[in-house]
Amino acid sequence: MVNRVCPWPRGKALGGSTILNYMIYTRGNPEDYRRWSERNEGWSYEEVLQYYKKSEDCRLEFETCTDCFHSSGGYLSVDRPFSSPLTDAFVQGGKFISL
């Protein structure tokens, strides 16, 4: 710290501060998008999904990259950089979110 000040970098981007926090890619809970769309036309999960898909270059398992939620060829590489029991649990937990 300098002068008893601790810098706390914060990003402001769609999806939160993912650009700073180890670049973890997550889209958020579909329920959040539903609430946003009640006040802002065009913000439902189904409506913004096309933009997520357009931007990503999925490099996960083949079955995942070819499902209706992911695509390839975009500018944002999406991959799993490492595996641990905690990261595996996080990924498994995300698979049970329903639309």
Q: pLDDT of 24-46, one tens digit each?
A: 677 888 999 999 999 999 999 99
- Write out residues in the chain with pLDDT < 50, as ranges: 18
Contacts with 55 (C-beta within 8 Å, 6 or more apart), sequence order: 74, 75, 76
Burial class (CB in 10 A: 0-12, 13-18, 19+), 86: exposed
* Phi and psi at residue 77, to the nearest 5°: -75, 130
* Residue 11 CA to its chain's centroid (Å): 14
31 by DSSP, 3-state: which? helix
Give the residues across from 93 on adjacent strands. none
Q: Where along the chain do its domains lie?
A: 30-94
Specify the CATH number for 30-94; select among 3.40.1130, 1.10.1220, 1.10.3470, 1.25.40.
Answer: 1.10.1220
Can you give the pTM of this predicted structure?
Answer: 0.58
